[in-house]
Amino acid sequence: MRIDIITLFPRMFDGPFRESIIARAIAAGIVEIHIHDLRGWATDRHRTVDDAPFGGGAGMVLKPEPLFAAIEQLRGENGHVILMTPQGQVFNQQLAADLATYNHLLFVCGHYEGVDERVREHAIDRELSIGDYVLSGGELPAMVVVDAVTRLLPGTLGSHLSTVEESHAGGLLEYPHYTRPRDFRGWRVPDILLSGNHAAIARWRHEQAVRRTLERRPDLTRKYLPHLLQEHKDGDEDAGATTTSGL
Ligand code: ADE
């Protein structure tokens, strides 16, 4: 996959893309990432990329000319152009999986009050937000999306299973993990994990994942696993009935 990023702050990407999984994916030739300074497409001596909003108001707006020039030069044959903005669709694991199917992604990092509306209307394929809070620019959000997408590319993670099993992939949060020592300060690893019974371990992990999702993220449960809510309720009612009859 090829990824291009248009930004006013190219150096922000130095650290995150030089470490860990993204760095390994780049080294392995799985992903190619190019960071571009929007000012490179400015046409005046001062390399201006923003201007005051028509109609007045606070802040500055990114001008259309440098953004159009940059996008038109970089998008190529099949570049998918993504604007990072708090007004976009809220990013999630499903969208990460969708983006991982493209050959070429081009991220535009908004700044200041945003970009001229004509850029959004005529040069952008989709707008993404990473959550309902406002950051000072689209750089950190673009890094988040690039990370989530890159780790899904075939060959990036050692085991394909790790992306299939992990939190959110199947709409469930992950089950708890333990490693050595078996007993740490008196807190023991659950016996089942030491039993060697793989079927029983798989069952226990699934139960834990379901319980965690029900407890912590009823919104995920409603969205991906509505049948679990009903089962959980039935379970509670059964438990209630037993308790009542036992009294
Ligand atoms: N730019 C500023 N805040 C943002 C957010 N939450 N998501 C995407 N881009 C942004």
Ligand 1 atom nearest residue 133's Cα: 6
Structure tokens at 1: 């996959």
Is residue 26 a contact partner of residue 34, using CB atoms and an 8 Å limit? no
Which residue, judged by its Cα, is nearest atom 10 of ligand 1?
A: 85
pLDDT of residue 226: 82
pLDDT of residue 243: 29
**What is the C-alpha to C-alpha distance for residues 4 and 79, in angstroms, rounded to an integer?**
9
| Angle formed at CA 50 by CA 49 and CA 56, multiple of 5 degrees | 165
Q: Which of 133, 135, 139, 144 should be mutated for ligand 1, with most atoms under 8 A from CB?
A: 135
Does residue 132's CB lie within 6 angstroms of at least one atom of ligand 1? no
- Look up the pTM and report it: 0.89
pLDDT of residue 159: 53
pLDDT of residue 224: 75
- The alpha carbon of residue 83 and the mean position of all alpha carbons in its chain are separated, in whole angstroms, by 14
Strand, coil or helix: 11:
helix
**What is the C-alpha to C-alpha distance for residues 71 and 76, in angstroms, rounded to an integer?**
9
Could you tell me how many residues make up the chain?
247
pLDDT of residue 245: 26
What are the boundaries of each domain within the chain?
A: 2-150, 183-238
Does residue 141's CB lie within 6 angstroms of at least one atom of ligand 1? yes
Q: Give 2-150's CATH code, choosing from 3.75.10.10, 3.40.50.300, 3.40.1280.10, 3.40.50.150.
A: 3.40.1280.10
pLDDT of residue 247: 22
Per-residue pLDDT of the chain (247 residues; tens, 9 = 90+): 999 999 999 999 999 999 999 999 999 999 999 999 999 999 999 999 999 999 999 999 999 999 999 999 999 999 999 999 999 999 999 999 999 999 999 999 998 789 999 999 999 999 999 999 999 999 999 999 999 999 999 999 865 556 666 767 678 999 999 999 999 999 999 999 999 999 999 999 999 999 999 999 999 888 877 887 777 677 655 543 332 222 2
Is residue 167 a contact partner of residue 115, using CB atoms and an 8 Å limit? no
Distance in Å, CA 33 to ligand 1 centroid: 20
Does residue 164's CB lie within 6 angstroms of at least one atom of ligand 1? no
**What is the C-alpha to C-alpha distance for residues 30 and 150, in angstroms, rounded to an integer?**
8
Q: What is Dmax (Cα atoms) for the chain?
A: 85
pLDDT of residue 212: 96
pLDDT of residue 16: 94
Burial of 195 (0-12, 13-18, 19+ CB in 10 A): exposed
pLDDT of residue 185: 98
Which residue, judged by its Cα, is nearest atom 4 of ligand 1?
A: 86
Does residue 114's CB lie within 6 angstroms of at least one atom of ligand 1? no
**What is the C-alpha to C-alpha distance for residues 200 and 203, in angstroms, rounded to an integer?**
5
pLDDT tens for residues 164-179? Answer: 667 676 789 999 999 9
